[in-house]
Amino acid sequence: MNKGKEGFSRRDFVVNSIMAAAGLSVAKFGLTASNKQTIDNAINTNNMNNTNSTMAKRKLGSLEVTELGFGCMNIAWAYGNAPAKEDAIKLIRGAYEQGHRFFDTAEIYGPHISETTTGEALKPFRKDVVIASKIGFDH
């Protein structure tokens, strides 16, 4: 498998893309028993739980973040019905397990639902991640 200079392969990229697509479909269409099982199966496969994956990092000022961030807007609103809080937490933690260490949210997503859910999901890993939140909206 072709790995980048930091050890993040094309397969890792594809797997992470599938996770993001699953999140979008959950946000848009909601969960049914059959697609919830499909998502659970995908998260629990060996490819999805490869915690040995390392993702390349970049500097943002004094912060060091992973090149691929995880956007948390769809866990609160945007492209249809929001997923259940438990499913959103599972999705965010799945992204963490895949090597994401940079998470993006905003006070306007919900308002405050995305920030609260993201914080709750990442609480056990708080010292290992960077959470960016956009503020100052008049909502």
CB hemisphere CA count around 107 (13 angstroms): 6
What are the structural domain ranges in the chain?
Answer: 10-134
Question: Would you say residue 130 has pLDDT above 50?
Answer: yes
Q: What is the pLDDT of residues 61-95, one digit of tens each?
A: 998 999 999 999 888 877 778 889 999 999 999 99
The predicted model scores a pTM of 0.61
- The question of whether 79 is a catalytic residue gets the answer no
Indicate the pairing of strand 70-71 with strand 102-106. Answer: parallel
Catalytic member of 22, 109, 113, 114: 109
